[in-house]
Structure 1
């Protein structure tokens, strides 16, 4: 379990997240993600007021508005902002030559914090279901 391997893993996941979000934006240009709750479930409302309807009965959703609200909260723009924040944290907590985080070492007053640092381990946690996730990274 090295900090370099964790950094590489995080960069790859951020790249995947960005690609998927950008593909979603390209597939629905001008879309504004939200939920309009009437008896017809609506996932996307475009700027020209067109809508894409998704009947969630086929998925067996007991609370379609709750499900759609969750989906809408994770729109591509939010994913891109989250990816940008993750990359900034990754840059802030990059490992030094000895594999230890410079930022955490400075904050610890020169003591030797664990490698990889807790910040990078926490950044990786949302990807714990990925086949390349190393359980040794779990905080």
Structure 2
């Protein structure tokens, strides 16, 4: 598995989770949060957790995943163009392959068992 395959596999996993969570209504999430509040006093951590739930919806996660996929595709296309010695516009990833951008996209998954230390930026 190369770095591009690794990133795409992690994004596929993230998408499955986000789509599964998309079936959970915002009201249900708020009810769960309300249960947490009622079981114990609202402290700073519970308040932050509530903000987190409200902010990072499945829709936002899916948009983030799509943007990352577009970056991966674009960098892969640019690499292919550079390798074929055709002129290109846009990304100038002349720092070797895989480029720093792809290495950075993989970094949040560094604890995954398939992540390779040589991919570190």
Q: TM-score range by the shorter chain?
A: 0.7 to 0.9
CA shift digits 1:16-67 (9 cap, x unpaired): 00000000112x2xx337xxxxxxxxx724xxxxx44331657xx7521012
Name the structure, 1 or 2, with higher relative contact order (CA <8 Å, separation 6+). Answer: 2
Quote the RMSD (CA, aligned, Å): 3.0
Equivalence for 1:44: 29
Specify every segment of 5 or more residues in structure 1 that has no aligned partner in the other structure, as ranges.
Answer: 34-42, 46-50
In structure 2, the residue corresponding to 1:11 is in which secondary structure?
Answer: helix
Q: 1:104 to 1:117 in 2, by over 3 A?
A: farther
Q: Contact 1:93/1:103 (CA < 8 Å) preserved in 2?
A: no
Q: Where does 1:56-71 land on structure 2 (aligned, <5 Å)?
A: 63-71=45-53
Change (3 A) 1:133 1:17: same
Instruction: Note if 1:118 corresponds to 2:115.
Output: no
Sort the Cα spacing of 1:103 and 1:12 in 2 relative to 1 into closer, same or farther, 3 A: farther
Q: Residue in 1 aligned with 2:60?
A: 78
Other structure's SS at 2:60 match: helix
Structure 2: where are the runs of 5+ without partners? none
- The alignment of Structure 1 onto Structure 2 pairs a total of residues equal to 111
Residue equivalent to 1:96: 80
Which structure shows the higher strand fraction? 1
Equivalent residue, structure 2, for 1:48:
none
The answer as to 2:36 corresponding to 1:55 is: yes
3-state DSSP of counterpart to 2:49: helix
Structure 1 consecutive aligned stretches of length 4 or more whose deviation exceeds 6 Å: 102-106
2:29 match: secondary structure: strand
* Residue 80 of structure 1, CA deviation: 0.2
Kindly indicate whether residue 14 of structure 2 is the aligned counterpart of residue 17 of structure 1: yes
